[in-house]
Structure formats: C-alpha cells, structure tokens
Chain A
Amino acid sequence: MDFANYDPDGANRGREIISAKIVIAGGFGVGKTTLVGAISEIQPLTTEALMTAAGVGIDDPSKVPGKETTTVAMDFGRITMAEDLILYLFGTPGQTRFWFMWDEIIRGAVGAAVLVDTRRITDAFAPLDYFENRKLPYVVALNRFDDAPHYELEEIREALAISPDVPLVMCDARRRESVKQVLVTVVEHAMLRLQAEHGYPASVG
C-alpha cells in the first residue's frame, strides 16, 4: 500500500520512529506481567484480542452455547529509549490454548525470554517447545520466588533439556536491575545469533 507513507502536511518527515519488541513468555502466573511492570515506563497495559470460537481451533463452539467470541488478554509495557526508538515488551497469554496468538506476538521481535518458576518447572516445557521450533532467539530466565527450592542453573538446564547455546540466567522479576539484565542477555544473544548466521566470529561490542 502506497498509502503507508502518505503524509499530508509533512510534519513527520525526517522523524521516523522505529519500534522494537521483546517477548516475555512462560506459563500462567510465572511473573510475566511483574517483569514487564518492573521496567516499563507505563503501567503494563492489556489489550484484548477478540477471537471467534471457531478461530480458536481447539475449542468446539457447539459446547459454548451463546458464546461466539472469546477474548485473549495480552499484557505489554513500553520503554522510550530515544525520540525515534521505542522498545515494547509483550507478555504472551498464559494459557497454552492461546498459542495461535504467539505467532503474531513474536513476528519481527528482537528475541524472547522464557520465564520459569522453579516450583512448577514442568509449566516451562510447552513454551520451550514452542521457541525451539521457531527461529526467534530466546533465553531462559529462572524467576526466583522466595519460597522456591534452590537449584543450580545446570540442574535446571538438564531438567528442562535446554540446549547449551541457549543462555540461562537467574532473575527476580520484581527488581528493575535484574529485569534489565535479562533483557540485555536477550539482545546480546540475538546479536550473536545474527552474527553467526552471517558468518561473523562471535563477539558483541
């Protein structure tokens, strides 16, 4: 569509704003929205995508009489980095049956962090499976809950069968510095992956 660049009064010319996004994935209640809220400049917002029951695919519309649509909530935050650069953080819907939406959320993303709760480690299997089968660079972040049993990172890597080239970090989703470190790891990993794909030696400036 040529209309995309239609700019009747030209006031925006030369002020092109680039936006990027990082995806925060993980099981239901693992702390995705907490993580986004710890670093976002706005209170995390929710947008609701409206699905027709038929569009959900795994739902049988006949079993939900009178309900033709369902809404899928997705939380997100924003970090304005410069006048012309905005980073968005998108949390995936928690319930695995809404995964058809993830494809839209991850399209064009810088990378993803899969949050893991060590008290419910099996909840991470499904999101990890999803990213293993996508091209998107991702890291795994263990969200440290106060009452969670302590594991060594390598124990977790083994338990979740995380490949050696996927970064694995500890984090506290409530703490801004910790969240920042997770995001830095995502971007660094994405840069290394991109360089490797183009035959450059692995190094990040």
Chain B
Amino acid sequence: MEPRRDPRGALVRPYAVTRGRTEPLQNIALEAVLSSTPTQSAEARFAGHDKYRISSVCEGRAQSLAEIAAYTRMPLGVTRVLVADMVAEGLLTLHTAAPATGFAARMNLLGRVLSGLREL
C-alpha cells in the first residue's frame, strides 16, 4: 500500500486531530493488531476524515498500531489516541498482543514463532 500524504501537510498541529487530547482511552501496544470488517468501515465513513483513513488501512488486512501510524503518516501518539477511540466506538477490532504472562501461553507463543521462522 502506498502511504498517502495528508493534503493538509504540516499545517495542522499534530494533536489538533484529537482536539488536543494526548492520552488514549487505553494504551495500545505498538504491535497490537487492529482489523476492520466491511460493516465497521462503512460506519467509519461518517466518523471523520482521519478515522476513515485509519479504517481504510485496516480493511482487508489486519495492521498493527505501528503500521497504521506509518501508512497514515501520523505520529504514533496521535494515532494511538484515534485508534483507541475507534476501538471504543466499535469502528475497529483490537486483537491481543502476545500474552506477557503465563508460562504455558508464553511457551506456546514462542514455539509457534520459532517454527514460523524455521519455515521461512
């Protein structure tokens, strides 16, 4: 996907798109993956320019918070505020980042990553 330039360029101060809010509703990990169903993206059309752009990035292919920020060319902090809002509004589905605790769950994940790498 070709990252699109925001036509407003650098004319808008970064947190203007969040109306000055810098704290996200929940802290989403850099690698946490988000996806959008057709129903969700249809709804996102009415959620404003920036949220619709985010929704479009996630349609058909799940993307991490970091990817969304890169493709929309928005700073990470700004993207995190908007994405957390969209999750709360039901416009995006948030998937779990790797389980940080629990021996069995963690071992299972590491084992899957290891075989995934070996198969490359």
Measured CB to CB, the residues of A under 8 A from B are: 1, 3-4, 6-9, 11-12, 16-21, 39, 45-50, 69, 71, 74, 76, 78-79, 81-82, 85-88, 90, 104-105, 107-108, 110, 176, 180, 183-184, 187-188, 190-191, 194-195, 198, 204-205
Contact = CB atoms under 8 A, between A and B. Distances in A.
Contacts of A47: 66, 69-70, 75-76
Contacts, number: 150
Interface of A is mostly: mixed
Contacts of A82: 112, 116
A6 B89 CA distance: 8
Contact of B40 (A4, A9, A176, A183): A9
Contacts of B106: 194
A38 to B, nearest CB: 11
B98 A191 contact: no
A81 B66 contact: no
Interface of B: 14, 25-26, 29-33, 35, 37-40, 62, 64, 66-67, 69-71, 75-78, 87-88, 90, 93-100, 103, 106-107, 109-114, 116-120
A191 B110 contact: yes
B29 A50 contact: no
B30 A18 contact: no
Contacts of B71: 45
B97 A19 contact: yes
A198 B103 contact: yes
Contact of A20 (B31, B37, B70, B118): B31
A53 to B, nearest CB: 14
A205 B120 contact: no
22 contacts: A3-B25, A4-B94, A9-B39, A12-B37, A12-B93, A17-B33, A18-B99, A18-B109, A19-B33, A48-B76, A49-B77, A76-B30, A79-B120, A86-B62, A86-B64, A87-B116, A108-B98, A108-B100, A110-B113, A183-B117, A184-B117, A191-B107
A74 B77 CA distance: 13
A78 B111 CA distance: 18
A18 B103 contact: no
A39 B114 CA distance: 15
Given A19-B64, A78-B64, A88-B66, A71 B110 contact: no
Given A19-B31, A104-B30, A71 B113 contact: no
A16 to B, nearest CB: 6
Contacts of A20: 31, 97-98, 109, 113
Nearest to B103: A198
A85 B112 contact: yes
